Structure 1
Amino acid sequence: MSTEETPLLAEGHTPLDHSRVYDRFSPSKKRVILAMVSCSGVIPLFVSGVFIPAIPQIARDLLTTPEVASLTITTSYVGASLGSMVMATYSGFYGRRPIYLVGLPFFCLGSYQIAVTQNIYHLIAWRFIQNVGISASISLGAGVIGDVYKLEERGFPLGFFFGASLIGPAIAPVSGGIMAHYASWRMLQWGFLLYGLIILTSMALWLPETSHPGTLGIEQAEYHHHQQQGDGSTQRRKWRWVWLNPFSCLGLLRSPNLVLVIATSALVLLTEFVLLVPLAYTIGAEYGIVNEALIGAVFIPCGVGNMVGAPLAGYVSDRVIIAHRAKRGGEWCPEDRLRGALFSAATFVPLSVLFIGLTVEFIPGRTGLLLCLVWLFMNGVGIHLVLSPLAVYNIDIMQSRSTEIIAAYTGTRGMFISLLIPCILPSISHFGVVATNAAAALVAWAGFGTLVVIIRYGGQLRAWKDIGYTTADSENI
């Protein structure tokens, strides 16, 4: 039986041919690839968050109710969840580059149609298409980075990538609030169209296919076709469409490791929603902030904390991997990467949400507001000192299906959190901000407990249900 100390890699046993797969691109080319996928990764969370402060203006402009206008938020999450799973599945068959080049035009078209729409139902439909088009940027970007960076190198670039993706939620609310207050909610859609066209052009010109040679479904299908022909031909057949199950990535949930990773990330991430969703009714109400743009600005410390925490977490997790691998004489245990997240999961995340509840309740005036901004920054840093190592751990143990495991991880977590978000405001109204935030802190400490379980028993759990983990040294160094 495997234990938490079970090594998956032993240094010195890497087949030379496979090790060279990470040397296909020069360091400078890798940085260009990282920059392109990071620029694409900024869009999804920005698009999702920018409509929130604009709902009243959209309702007035399109002659509808705020309740109907808020469906634009719901459809964006539905489109992102479904699109991510579909595109992640097809990226494993056709490759990363084709999926980017297919998805981005839909994002651009959706942005244009939203900018000119005069009908709320037209807007809702195109919001769905817009988010489907950009939905795979997170899972594809993580997969691309896993393709080009070795095990001990990928923590920092993945942290940088996730940090870049979090620029969106950091600036989306204030950008949406400023546009709604001083111009029109449509203006940002024209900006999305232009940005999407720039990213699409850049990827068409400079993004190579990064999938490891011979791993794509279409390559394997070609190989079997030539074997059946028996003529030794290596000529490719004409491109063809293949129907795939878009929800096949959910089969990865058979892994107890992945289930616990999703649980940990959801329990930790929920604290951010507990702080941000009711912001206008907690910090805003207590400290007299009513302007939409200023309410959006209060989100900034948390977003900046996210951007700081994600790359820092990647750097720390790489150092932890190297240190523990050296202690084992060169043997690799994937759960080592998660050890660097323990302190933040036990302190920064739960304490920040608890402190905000106490500050709003008991400390008035400017001092209270400044303290809340500090706690929001602390929460932003703390969350991604936990979430980034979890995301990299997923890629470490399932490198061959990296885009699919990230899609399953983010999609399932998002659906879980979406069920709990409607409970936040009623809880604050009924029980108060201190009790609600204290409950969120307890939930975060439960996430710390599941993190300990993964680190302590990860080896046994992988042995219990093997879904094709990356275990051989030829797969991940």
Structure 2
Amino acid sequence: MEAPSRPDDSSPVYSSFSTSQKRFIITFAALAGWFSSISSFIYFPAIPFLVSDLQVSVQQVNLTVTSYLIMSGIFPSIVGSAADRFGRRPVFLLSLAIYVCANIGLGLQSSFGWLFGLRMLQSAGISGTFSIAYGVVGDLFTPAERGGYSGVISFFLNTPPSIGPIISGLLLLRWTWRSIFWLLAVSSAFVLILMLLFLPETARGIVVNGSTKPRRRYNRPFINHLIPPQRQIEATVETDKKSLDILNPFAALRLLSRPSTAISCLTYGINYSVYSCLQASLSTIFVERYGVSGFVAGVIYIPFGVGCALSAYTTGKLLDITYRQTAAKQGIVITKGKANDLTVFPIERARLRFIIFSTVSSAALVMGHGWALECTASLAVPLVLQFLTGVSIQMIFTSLNTLLVDVHQERPSTAQAANNFVRCEMAAGCLASLDALLQSVGPGWTFVAYGTAVMLEFLLLGLLWVKGMQWRQARVRTDGAI
């Protein structure tokens, strides 16, 4: 019997940051990503007020939703590549600075042209923080502990669908739609200041495991409270040159040529499109079929968001458990603080163990939700189905986000940017056709179609389960990296 495989005990620890430092850093990253999500959902209740004040049509204001989503698909490809090349810290700071300025402008503007342009700028500034946040997870945590912290990021990213419309509704009860953008401006400026003062650089291409001091000033915090107590020499010339490479916004799209990346992103995109259509149709359908008030139309988002948030946290913990179980079956020893060689580790099976079958439950729940609305079932029925759908879909999101970081450890933010491009552009296309589909066939058959698409993911993920490790090993032989 072969001896269990274990990480090289002579190798340095994966991360020199202490546990408490990691938690603070991941909280900063999650907060920045939170603004990426909240900006969409806090905006929806303000649409009727913008129509009235700016004297434009609903269709025109809806264009600002579509344009925001399109920009959210394009700009993370640039931002993710920049974060992998120049570091997480400067890109976080620049993104938040642009976002703050865009929100101030949105709070001051009084014309549709400015609204349209500034919403695009708002998206360009903040949408990439989603990708960088998962890059930080890859920087700080070994694959054995990565699932739980990916769950933390996902938890932050999935509270906005529930609380965004409620915050917006409460603000609109007392103030105008401008208060929404002022709230975003002030809160994001506060996070920007905290990051400027405390956030250290974590990109492994610049600080390795955190023990190397970055040579460039913009990679260093003003207050060193969150850097490892023992730092070695400054970054080598080779490491510094890497950060000076020419920025390539197409690097993210090139990753889609890898079969495992393409399958992960396509699967994620299908789920995100269904998720977006569920969210976009909730208030309209409930107002039409159940006659609920405007405030209740905001409250009905809570079950879905709560299901997503709870699932994000618990799935992260499950991913760490399945990683350990898979390692034990393979005779691989996990050493705390040391990373296993994923070239010989079936990471796809560790990450996909649960979600291959959750695609079936997600498909059934989506179809059931559609027919509950079609038949105008008791209000409790679609709300319960929303909660369960949120649990099931979020399990897929968290697992795939973690897997993308695992198989692109050299460029985690770029990989997330590729995923962001696919999911946003697919969602934009589905949202553009959603109203016409609902009007022509009703919610029942509309969500049967969406559920069928989710069901097809079973085949895609099954292929990734079987072939994923083989594809990675072939890539190591040709490219030298997984």
Cα contact 1:257–1:461 (8 A) shared by 2: yes
Choose the corresponding residue for 1:302, options 288, 301, 304: 304
In structure 2, distance between residues paired with 1:456 and 1:54: 47
Cα contact 1:252–1:408 (8 A) shared by 2: yes
The corresponding residue for 1:4 is none
The corresponding residue for 1:228 is none
The corresponding residue for 1:278 is 281
Task: Decide whether aligned partners of structure 1 residues 320 and 256 sit closer, same or farther in structure 2, where only a CA change above 3 A counts.
Answer: same
Q: Deviations over 1:418-460 (max 9, x none)?
A: 1122222222221122211222211111112211221122123
Cα contact 2:79–2:128 (8 A) shared by 1: yes
Aligned pairs (5 A) from 1:16-415? 16-17=10-11, 19-22=12-15, 24-180=16-172, 182-212=174-204, 214=206, 243-289=246-292, 291-330=293-332, 332-336=345-349, 337-347=351-361, 349-362=362-375, 364=377, 368-415=378-425
Cα contact 1:396–1:470 (8 A) shared by 2: no
In structure 2, distance between residues paired with 1:431 and 1:238: 57
In structure 2, distance between residues paired with 1:418 and 1:92: 27
In structure 2, distance between residues paired with 1:326 and 1:123: 55
In structure 2, distance between residues paired with 1:34 and 1:424: 36
Cα contact 1:174–1:294 (8 A) shared by 2: no
Shift of 1:237: 9.4
The corresponding residue for 2:8 is 14
Cα contact 2:148–2:317 (8 A) shared by 1: yes
In structure 2, distance between residues paired with 1:167 and 1:248: 30
The corresponding residue for 1:419 is 429
Shift of 1:469: 7.5
In structure 1, distance between residues paired with 2:107 and 2:157: 23
In structure 1, distance between residues paired with 2:392 and 2:355: 9
In structure 2, distance between residues paired with 1:271 and 1:132: 24
Q: Deviations over 1:9-33 (max 9, x none)?
A: x84243633x4241x1001111111
Shift of 1:269: 2.7
Task: Decide whether aligned partners of structure 1 residues 119 and 238 sit closer, same or farther in structure 2, where only a CA change above 3 A counts.
Answer: farther
Number of residue pairs matched by the alignment: 442
Cα contact 1:177–1:296 (8 A) shared by 2: yes
In structure 2, distance between residues paired with 1:469 and 1:452: 26
Q: Aligned to 2:191, what secondary structure does the other structure show? A: helix
Q: Deviations over 1:202-251 (max 9, x none)?
A: 111211111125589xx9xx9xxxxxxxxxx9799999976422122111
Shift of 1:465: 5.3
In structure 2, distance between residues paired with 1:167 and 1:20: 33
Cα contact 2:47–2:61 (8 A) shared by 1: yes
Task: Decide whether aligned partners of structure 1 residues 149 and 292 sit closer, same or farther in structure 2, where only a CA change above 3 A counts.
Answer: same
Task: Decide whether aligned partners of structure 1 residues 460 and 176 sit closer, same or farther in structure 2, where only a CA change above 3 A counts.
Answer: same
In structure 2, distance between residues paired with 1:240 and 1:89: 11
Task: Decide whether aligned partners of structure 1 residues 196 and 384 sit closer, same or farther in structure 2, where only a CA change above 3 A counts.
Answer: same
Letter in 2 for 1:262: C
In structure 2, distance between residues paired with 1:235 and 1:271: 45
Letter in 2 for 1:351: A
In structure 2, distance between residues paired with 1:120 and 1:391: 36
Cα contact 2:75–2:124 (8 A) shared by 1: yes
In structure 1, distance between residues paired with 2:57 and 2:372: 35
Shift of 1:363: 5.0
Shift of 1:468: 4.7
Q: Deviations over 1:308-332 (max 9, x none)?
A: 1111111111111110110110062
In structure 2, distance between residues paired with 1:51 and 1:82: 20
Task: Decide whether aligned partners of structure 1 residues 199 and 358 sit closer, same or farther in structure 2, where only a CA change above 3 A counts.
Answer: same
Q: CA-atom RMSD, angstroms?
A: 2.6
Q: Aligned to 2:171, what secondary structure does the other structure show? A: helix
In structure 2, distance between residues paired with 1:438 and 1:375: 14
Shift of 1:67: 1.9
Cα contact 1:162–1:311 (8 A) shared by 2: yes
Q: Aligned to 1:268, what secondary structure does the other structure show? A: helix
Answer with 254-263 or 48-57: which moved more: 48-57
In structure 2, distance between residues paired with 1:240 and 1:248: 15
Q: Aligned to 2:278, what secondary structure does the other structure show? A: helix
In structure 2, distance between residues paired with 1:288 and 1:346: 32
Shift of 1:273: 2.9
In structure 1, distance between residues paired with 2:467 and 2:432: 34
Cα contact 1:179–1:187 (8 A) shared by 2: yes
Letter in 2 for 1:400: E
Answer with 137-146 or 279-288: which moved more: 279-288
What's the % identity of the aligned pairs? 25
Cα contact 1:398–1:469 (8 A) shared by 2: no
In structure 2, distance between residues paired with 1:126 and 1:152: 42
Cα contact 1:353–1:379 (8 A) shared by 2: yes
Cα contact 1:264–1:448 (8 A) shared by 2: no
Choose the corresponding residue for 2:458, options 426, 448, 452: 448
Letter in 2 for 1:16: S
In structure 2, distance between residues paired with 1:59 and 1:234: 55
In structure 2, distance between residues paired with 1:214 and 1:51: 37
The corresponding residue for 1:226 is none
In structure 2, distance between residues paired with 1:294 and 1:177: 10
Answer with 384-393 or 170-179: which moved more: 170-179
The corresponding residue for 1:227 is none
